[in-house]
Amino acid sequence: MNEANDDKIFKKLRNISLFAKFKDDCHAIEKIRGIIEMRSFQKGDFIIKEGDQGDEMFILSRGRVSIEKRTLKDDSYTVVKLTDEMNVFFGELALMDDDVRSASVIAETDCECMVIKKADFDQLGDSDTRIGLYVTREIAKILAGRLRNASRDNITLFEALVNEIEGPER
């Protein structure tokens, strides 16, 4: 990587919520930058494909992506569209487990992503437990929020089903 690209990566990492604790810790950000691989994608490319095995997390450095899910009838729908200005990352679950991808991420424009491989993240966590623990906690917070939202959604769906079966007046 060249110096200008290194500086761009350094600045981007400081703005990613997973690494917020280290925003002013140049040494920690430098260690995280050390496990980053840059990867380019063309418009229409699958960055992540739902159902595939994955062992990488992505930080959107340049471009726009859409996150898509498939229905039980195998229809695709867009969950959200993300841009690099949003300082977003995706695929973070792959740093925690070896399960398949839960959604697809498709490049809406030509994109550039910073990639962190699970093996490299694990090695960083082993060598610097402070970084590993903090990032793992941040991912756990994200997962807890998603679980709370899913629980609320299930209750809403259950209530709607009960209302449909029993009618609006019980």
pLDDT tens, position by position, 85-98: 999 999 998 998 88
For 77, the token pair is 């729908």
Q: What is the pLDDT of residue 20?
A: 87
Q: What is the pLDDT of residue 121?
A: 94
Residues facing residue 99 across a β-bridge:
none
Residues facing residue 48 across a β-bridge:
105
Q: What is the pLDDT of residue 11?
A: 86
148: buried, middle or exposed (CB in 10 Å: 19+, 13-18, 0-12)?
Answer: exposed
Q: How is the chain split into domains, by residue range?
A: 3-166
Judge: domain 3-166, CATH 2.60.120.10.
Answer: yes
In one-letter notation, the amino acid at residue 21 is K
Cβ-count burial 54-67 (b if 16+ within 10 Å, e if not): bebbbbbbbbbbbb
pTM recorded for the entire structure: 0.85
Find tokens 């990867």 and name the residue: 39
Q: 144, 137 in Cβ contact below 8 A? A: no
Q: Which of 87, 16, 5, 102 is nearest to 52 (CA)?
A: 102
Residues facing residue 40 across a β-bridge:
112
- Dist CA 23 CA 113 (whole Å): 20
Q: Which of 60, 170, 51 is nearest to 111 (CA)?
A: 60
If one compares 161 and 80, the residue with the highest pLDDT of the two is: 80
Comparing 69-73, 78-82, 144-148, the range with the smallest average pLDDT is 144-148
Q: Mean pLDDT throughout 102-110?
A: 96
Q: What is the pLDDT of residue 84?
A: 94
